[in-house]
Amino acid sequence: DSGVTQTPKHLITATGQRVTLRCSPRSGDLSVYWYQQSLDQGLQFLIQYYNGEERAKGNILERFSAQQFPDLHSELNLSSLELGDSALYFCASSVREGVLSGHNNEQFFGPGTRLTVL
Amino acid sequence: DQQVKQNSPSLSVQEGRISILNCDYTNSMFDYFLWYKKYPAEGPTFLISISSIKDKNEDGRFTVFLNKSAKHLSLHIVPSQPGDSAVYFCAASTYGQNFVFGPGTRLSVLP
């Protein structure tokens, strides 16, 4: 158990809809990362938040957005869903409070949310 | 443009032998490299890492080698065990940000 929780575990929805994926980082971790893993592909970095602020942006579509709340949990919002958005979405966290951010921090991954768009 | 490449989609190794997983990268700004293992229906699990100032890091059966001039790293597992069967991802970052993952290599350790 990595200490990172994600809800829901599975999500089935229709094209054009909007969904929200939720992530709770490990206790004390300030950074949250979101990744997308499509079928038979590697992890694609979407976005990173650190202590409530956007820190880095990867291959995130404009239809997707995220935020990190004061209690450090994060939500990934996916709108105008398309069939190609079907994937596993992982959240990861790193950097405990009191540790300098940035260098040499491995990430701890949650179990993922499997999104199926029909 | 794939900045982190794992050119072998799969690898099969006999139990007890050495497994060598390879990873190549193109961005010379990467200064920290990690290996993750992933079982089906689970999130990736951190395995071992190496800073760009080192060329080797060892943790039990796992050793990561870094060749900066060749922009190449490898993960050695000795001896390989059936429980090591999983997908292995190589990842790289610059100052702890913008982690870039390779596509993964599926390792099968045969009893």
Q: What is the pLDDT of residue A105?
A: 65
Q: Flag the least confident range among A54-58, B22-26, B61-65.
A: A54-58
Contacts of A100 (CB under 8 A, 6+ apart): none
pLDDT of B104 reads: 93
- Under an 8 A CB cutoff, do B43 and A111 touch? yes
Nearest to B32 among A33, A104, A108 (CB): A104
Q: What pLDDT was estimated at residue A98?
A: 37
Distance from the A16 Cα atom to the nearest Cα atom in chain B, whole angstroms:
27
Backbone φ and ψ for A85, nearest 5 degrees, come out as -80, -10
Q: What is the pLDDT along chain A (118 residues), one digit of tens a residue?
A: 889 999 999 999 999 999 999 999 999 888 899 999 987 677 888 998 989 999 888 889 999 999 999 999 999 999 999 999 999 999 999 875 434 444 456 789 999 999 999 9
Distance from B41 to chain A by nearest Cα, in Å?
A: 7
Q: How many residues does chain A have?
A: 118
Sheet of A74-78: strands edge to edge? A5-7, A19-24, A74-78, A64-68
Rg (CA), chain B: 13
**pLDDT of amino acid A101:** 43
What is the model's pLDDT at position B99? 81
Give the tens place of pLDDT for each residue, B69-92: 999 999 999 999 999 999 999 999
Task: Kindly identify which residue of chain A lies nearest to residue B99, measuring between CA atoms.
Answer: A45
A59 neighbors A42 (Cβ within 8 angstroms): no
State residue B96's pLDDT score.
66
Whether residue B23 has pLDDT greater than 90: yes
Q: What is the mean pLDDT of chain B?
A: 93
| pLDDT of A104 | 55
Q: Are A91 and A4 in contact (CB under 8 A)?
A: yes
